[in-house]
Amino acid sequence: MDSLLVVIGAFIVYAIIKKELLPAIVALIFFLPYLLLFKMDLFQINLLYKIIIFVIVFGGSVFLYLTYNRQVGRK
Query: Can you give the pTM of this predicted structure?
Result: 0.47
Q: Give the angle 58-28-42 at the CA atoms, nearest 5°.
A: 70
Longest dimension (CA), the chain: 44
For residue 7, give the DSSP letter.
Answer: H
Alpha helices (H) in the chain, listed in sequence order: 3-18, 22-34, 47-74
What's the pLDDT tens digit per position in 38-57?
776 666 777 777 778 778 87
Residues 6+ apart with CB under 8 A from 14: 20, 23
Mean pLDDT across 20-29: 72
Is the pLDDT score of 9 beyond 70? yes
Q: How many domains does the chain have?
A: 1
CA 40 to chain CA centroid, nearest Å = 15
Show the domain range for 63: 3-74
